[in-house]
Amino acid sequence: MASRAALAFAVVATLAGCSGDDAFNPSVDLGVHPTDMGAVSDMGRCAILDVKAEIDPKTGMQKTTAPALLTAVAHGQGGVDPTWTVVRAGDNTGYTPTATDVSKLTVQFLAEEPGTWTFNVDFASGACRGSQSVTLGNPIGRKVLYRLRALPPESRNLPLTDTVVELIGGTPVVKDIALESGTLISGQLVSGGNGTPGEVRLIAKVGPDAVTTTNSLGAFTVAVQPLGSYNVLLIPESTALAPHLGAETQGAALGSADFVVGPGVTVTGSVTDSSATNLAGVRAVLRAGPLPSGAGTTDATGAFTLHAQAATNYTLSFGSDAWPQGSVADVPAVGGTTIAIQYTVARVAVGATVVASDGTTPVANARVSISSRPLGTIANVTVAGGAALAASGRVTRVVHTDAAGALPAMLLPAGTYDLIVEPPAPSTDGLTAITKVVGGAASWTLQLQTPITLAGTITGDKGQPVAAARVTGVEMVGLGAAPSTFTDASGHYALKVDRGTPVTVWVEPLGRDKLAGTRLLVPAGTTAADLALGPGLLVSGTVRTPGSQPLPAVEVEAFCFSCGSATPVATSITGADGIYNLYLPDPGELIVDGGATD
């Protein structure tokens, strides 16, 4: 099974605002991918094309809607015997236009359907080719604006780029995206006049943050949107220095300068159990929104020290592998603040062994995630000598079995626990969800279960079976296995999934089907899930660097601008050729009044 992380080149479809989502599969050709969408040919090409539509007698201008007679003319040194093809985006069929003279340098084609039509010419020499496109709309198609957001890999040091595209009912679109170089911010993270290593995170008001790590001397360079707004968050590597969050600033105004951090205010504290015994190894941190303090861990005397930017609205979080995780709000960080944490919760000894589905064979190196349900008050927290505050919390930890299948000895508070048990690969057993109740000392036997088959049928917008659609089951807990298969001629699919986890079923049809992909979250243990796909339109193109080179591994998100959705409707990742493919919901056609007012 592939991991969820391995799906970086698969669709991540999110339904929000408008209905519909993506159907991108880098192993499947979803339609024509013109190398050059502009009038100027790429290097090595010498045929420059000019494509025009017929004149609309009503407007006196070129037609922009289908049907339309298109004329293409090849210019330049092309040699002889040109070969022409015409392809519509989303349609794998290549059509042959009609030559208007013996030279075949001018051809015509009646485009009866809306969409992006691409003329390709190839001369007999083989070294002279050209490509040019024109998009025709549907005269009665509804119009929906989408914002395409291109997110380059962090290693390219390029900011996001937004591009607006108009989607018209029944009209596939080819839309290239030219990435912006942004504004480079260079500087140094400095403390006491000396460079210090750490992380510089520019928190964007819109879109992803610009994040970088300094070198050992604190130097960094990062690209931002010049008109974007950012809050600068500085997180020094040294726990003796305080992270710092700056005011909102426009990207172009950040300039190149030193970013200064210092010790901030010092917060000290102690951690004990209910008998006032000092506890070592308990971690503590303050956080106010995105701003953390430096982290602290108690020593043998139970003492810890935190360095923080002065503020009064921090949330204190604390815990360890041996003790529950707890939190309390409205903790100030000012000079002289002290914090006393005293655990009040009692614990009992719990042991456990993981065995295979046969009930006897011990399983070594199994991963067990243990999470309690809310435990109520687990500790009292006293800040600066004030009244004790009750801290709520829970147990959250991950442990592994030894060679005998045994988990390390644990001390757990009374309560209900949800366990996710994952055997090491390869295994005929699957991820298993188990619930246990702790009321006193206990010894658990955690028996794995075999996977189940999740099956169903994928149908289209007219009830037709959808063949060759990719179906992926993304497991929502554990390490995120993602088995995948393809539908047969009857639209049927079958996946082996772990019975202990909810599964999100992703469906990615072929482009030729002109359907939008979809996803469905099914509960743990589900064995049957049928899905129906709605009509979809292909939006595709090439993402290029500021130097016009195709760029792979760019995430392209589609937001329904007309719907006001802040969540992507569909997402695609560019392949090695820089091409992205998004299948967005077809807006359909306008409802036309057939009365006398037409």
Q: According to the model, what pLDDT value does residue 312 have? A: 84
With a cut of 80, say whether residue 106 has pLDDT above it.
Answer: yes
Mean pLDDT across 165-170: 89
Mean pLDDT across 551-562: 91
Confidence tier at 594 by pLDDT (50, 70, 90)? very low
Task: Give which of 79, 90, 180 is closest to 133, Cα–Cα.
Answer: 90
Q: Which residue type, as a one-letter code, is found at position 405?
A: G
Confidence tier at 426 by pLDDT (50, 70, 90)? confident
Q: Which residue has the higher pLDDT, 512 or 111?
A: 111
Residue with tokens 């809607």: 65
- The pairing of strands 296-297 and 283-288 is antiparallel
Q: What homologous superfamily does CATH list for 183-260?
A: Immunoglobulins (2.60.40.10)
pLDDT in tens, 301-352: 999 999 999 988 899 999 999 999 999 999 999 878 999 999 999 999 999 9
Written out in words, the top-level CATH class of the domain with range 457-536 is: mainly beta
Selection from 167-181, 273-287, 493-507 with the highest mean pLDDT: 273-287
Mean pLDDT across 172-197: 90
pTM tops 0.85: no
543-571 in b/e burial notation, b at 16+ Cβ within 10 A?
bbbeeeebbebbbbbbbbbbeebeebbbb
Please, what's the largest Cα pairwise distance for the chain? 100
With a cut of 80, say whether residue 252 has pLDDT above it.
Answer: yes
pLDDT in tens, 406-423: 999 999 999 999 999 999
Mean pLDDT across 264-270: 95
Selection from 47-56, 83-92, 116-125, 374-383 with the highest mean pLDDT: 374-383
What is the Cα–Cα distance from 438 to 435, expressed in whole angstroms? 10
Q: According to the model, what pLDDT value does residue 316 have? A: 95
Secondary structure (3-state) at 410: strand
Mean pLDDT across 54-78: 86
Secondary structure (3-state) at 253: helix
E-strand ranges in 511-578 read 518-522, 531-532, 536-544, 555-560, 570-573
Confidence tier at 509 by pLDDT (50, 70, 90)? confident
Residue with tokens 């996001």: 160
* Least trusted range by pLDDT, from 43-47, 339-343, 512-516, 519-523: 43-47
Radius of gyration of the chain measured on its C-alpha atoms: 30
Q: Which residue has the higher pLDDT, 203 or 593?
A: 203
Percent of the chain whose pLDDT exceeds 70? 89
Residue 243 CB neighbours (<10 A): 24
Mean pLDDT across 198-209: 87
With a cut of 50, say whether residue 1 has pLDDT above it.
Answer: no
- Average per-residue pLDDT for the chain: 85
Percent of the chain whose pLDDT exceeds 90? 56
With a cut of 60, say whether residue 123 has pLDDT above it.
Answer: yes
Half-sphere exposure of 560 (CA within 13 A, CB side): 24
Q: According to the model, what pLDDT value does residue 384 have? A: 87
Residue 316 CB neighbours (<10 A): 25
Asked whether 365 and 398 are in contact (CB, 8 A), the reply is: no
Q: According to the model, what pLDDT value does residue 329 have? A: 93
Confidence tier at 387 by pLDDT (50, 70, 90)? confident
Confidence tier at 77 by pLDDT (50, 70, 90)? low
pLDDT in tens, 7-61: 333 333 333 333 333 332 332 333 333 333 333 333 344 677 889 999 988 888 9
Q: Which residue has the higher pLDDT, 256 or 584?
A: 584
What is the Cα–Cα distance from 107 to 10, expressed in whole angstroms? 39
What is the Cα–Cα distance from 412 to 536, expressed in whole angstroms? 52
Q: Could you give the residue ranges of the DSSP H alpha helices within 72-193?
A: none
Q: What single string gives the DSSP state of each residue in 309-366?
A: --EEEEEEEEE-SSS-EEEEEEEEE-TT-EEEEEE----EEEEEEEE-TTSSSB-TT-
What is the Cα–Cα distance from 50 to 44, expressed in whole angstroms? 18
Residue with tokens 């953390």: 292
Asked whether 117 and 133 are in contact (CB, 8 A), the reply is: yes
Selection from 40-49, 79-88, 151-160, 527-536 with the highest mean pLDDT: 527-536
Q: According to the model, what pLDDT value does residue 89 have? A: 81
